[in-house]
């Protein structure tokens, strides 16, 4: 078991932001990035919109660690201030525990493993007597792709991750959990897809099925969130849907393009979503952030990216009402360090942007006590975990793109 302290932010700053202005300008000539043009906000990171000294004021890394543990999928803060990291590894589904400074305490593996069998953790919940994990096991051993299988499961362990007890939920041949959340009644809500249809599954705290719903053929939920007023919000491929507490659809909003990978209810009411979308004239997908009201109507949208592929996978509302977004960028990232973290204000306008130096996307952002947050990312074949502060921005704001209100 190895973990490595990571020197930040110097490592992330050195490649691009500390380069001489002439060098950055020379790179920009080969990758023009229009700012505030038409309906797109194109971020001119490659031409040094943020100086290195200003960036040091914007972000302060508390600590960062890498673990040679596999591929991360989810993050949960422990009651003692440490962290639980879920993911997948060659040995099976991964659960790794750290203390509050990121030092590894232990790691465990669950489920089946093999050359063509993959198990992963999607959700971690801590309770008084132990832990609950929700995940999938993918079985690709058959030579016939039509015979591939996926089995959702729930595992209960003690507080040290031992003595696992497993429940499975087979509804058809290939049921994959795409997102899972803890619910206010102590149970769980799962969303996923199988055999050409999306579905919702409500479980009790003990893992028993309360109800299940097959959704309309064009509703493929990738993310689910429980609502304060009851019911659930679903986001996925070209759709956002609200259901009542029993999974019946209240309304659905459809879009011409794009896929939303994460939805969150925000304090002022309504929703924030992050994912990908295409803008007219752009060859590849960019990050898309959408803000919706309580009825699912679009208040504003921002598309952020460049000429290569960019995507957003996680979003959280910050203490000041803005939004923290994590994903990856091939347009702006220095070398192979594609993990991308940025913040917008409450209106979706960019306030800062940061590359932590990971060779892989940011998977999840979680708030911590005070104004800080934790970042979980993939770094090649390693897991990357970082805690950072978020003080009020003290740098010049970039050009403002138009709000898209379609």
Q: What is the pLDDT of residue 59?
A: 54
Of 27-41, 82-96, 314-328, 340-354, the range with the lowest mean pLDDT is 27-41
Residues 105, 107: Cα–Cα separation, whole Å? 7
**Residue 29 backbone phi and psi in degrees, to 5:** -65, -25
The whole-number average pLDDT for the span 237-249 is: 96
Query: What tokens does 334 get?
Result: 């220095």
The whole-number average pLDDT for the span 289-313 is: 94
The whole-number average pLDDT for the span 377-395 is: 77
pLDDT per residue over 109-153, tens digit each?
998 888 889 999 999 999 989 999 999 999 999 999 888 889 899
Q: Which has the higher per-residue pLDDT, 307 or 311?
A: 311
Query: Quick count: other Cβ atoms within 10 Å of Cβ 353?
Result: 23
The whole-number average pLDDT for the span 244-269 is: 95
b/e 201-223 (16+ beta carbons within 10 angstroms → b): bbbeeebeeeeebebeeebbbbb
Q: Give the range with max mean pLDDT: 222-236, 302-316, 353-367.
A: 222-236
Reported residue count of the chain is 406
The whole-number average pLDDT for the span 75-80 is: 95
Q: What is the pLDDT of residue 22?
A: 32
At residue 174 the predicted structure's pLDDT band, cuts being 50, 70 and 90, is confident
Candidates 308, 235, 309, 312; CA nearest to 270 is 235
Residues 225, 266: Cα–Cα separation, whole Å? 11
The whole-number average pLDDT for the span 239-248 is: 97
Q: What is the pLDDT of residue 402?
A: 31
pLDDT per residue over 86-104, tens digit each?
999 999 999 999 999 999 9
Residues 288, 340: Cα–Cα separation, whole Å? 13
Residue that is written with structure tokens 């979980």 in the block:
376
Of 1-10, 35-44, 233-242, the range with the lowest mean pLDDT is 35-44
* 0.85 surpassed by pTM: no
The CA-atom distances, in angstroms, between 334 and each of 96, 275, 305, 344, 393 are 29, 22, 14, 21, 23
Radius of gyration of the chain measured on its C-alpha atoms: 21
Residues 232, 226: Cα–Cα separation, whole Å? 5
Candidates 305, 252, 233; CA nearest to 275 is 305
Cβ-contact 101, 399 below 8 angstroms: no
Is pLDDT at 45 greater than 70 in this prediction? no
Of 18-32, 57-71, 184-198, 268-282, the range with the lowest mean pLDDT is 18-32
Q: What is the pLDDT of residue 307?
A: 83
- Residue 43 CB burial class (10 angstroms; 0-12, 13-18, ≥19): buried
Of 37-46, 167-176, 303-312, the range with the lowest mean pLDDT is 37-46
Is pLDDT at 107 greater than 50 in this prediction? yes
């Amino acid at each position: 078991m190895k973990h490595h302290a990571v020197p930040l932010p110097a490592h992330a700053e050195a490649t691009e932001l500390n380069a001489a202005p002439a060098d950055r300008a020379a790179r920009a000539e080969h990758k023009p990035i229009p700012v505030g043009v038409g309906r797109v906000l194109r971020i001119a990171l490659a031409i040094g919109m943020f100086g290195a000294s200003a960036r040091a004021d914007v972000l302060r890394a508390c600590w960062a660690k890498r673990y040679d543990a596999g591929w991360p999928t989810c993050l949960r803060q422990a009651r003692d201030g440490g962290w639980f990291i879920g993911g997948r590894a060659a040995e099976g589904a991964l659960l790794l525990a750290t203390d509050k400074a990121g030092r590894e305490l232990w790691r465990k593996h669950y489920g089946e493993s093999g050359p063509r069998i993959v198990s992963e953790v999607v959700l971690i919940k801590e309770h008084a007597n132990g832990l609950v994990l929700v995940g999938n096991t993918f079985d690709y051993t058959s030579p016939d792709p039509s015979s591939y299988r996926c089995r959702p499961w729930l595992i209960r362990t003690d507080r040290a991750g031992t003595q696992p007890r497993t429940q499975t939920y087979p509804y058809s041949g290939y049921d994959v959990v795409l997102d899972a959340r803890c619910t206010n009644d102590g149970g769980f809500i799962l969303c996923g897809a199988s055999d050409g249809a999306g579905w919702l599954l409500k479980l009790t705290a003990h893992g028993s099925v309360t109800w299940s719903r097959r959704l309309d053929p064009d509703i493929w939920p990738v993310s689910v969130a429980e609502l304060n007023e009851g019911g659930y919000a679903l986001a996925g491929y070209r759709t956002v849907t609200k259901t009542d507490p029993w999974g019946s659809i209240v309304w659905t909003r459809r879009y011409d393009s794009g896929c939303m990978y994460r939805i969150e209810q925000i304090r002022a009411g309504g929703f924030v979503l992050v994912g990908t979308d295409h803008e007219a004239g752009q060859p590849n997908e960019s990050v898309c952030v959408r803000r919706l009201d309580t009825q699912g109507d679009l208040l504003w949208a921002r598309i952020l990216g460049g000429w290569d592929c960019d995507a957003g996978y996680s979003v959280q509302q910050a203490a000041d009402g803005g939004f923290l977004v994590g994903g990856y960028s091939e347009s702006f990232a220095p070398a192979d360090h594609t993990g991308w973290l940025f913040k917008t204000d409450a209106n979706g306008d960019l306030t800062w942007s940061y590359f932590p130096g990971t060779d892989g996307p940011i998977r999840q952002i979680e708030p911590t006590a005070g104004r800080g947050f934790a970042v979980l990312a993939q770094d090649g074949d390693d897991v990357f975990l970082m805690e950072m502060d978020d003080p009020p921005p003290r740098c010049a704001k970039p050009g403002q793109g138009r709000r898209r209100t379609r």
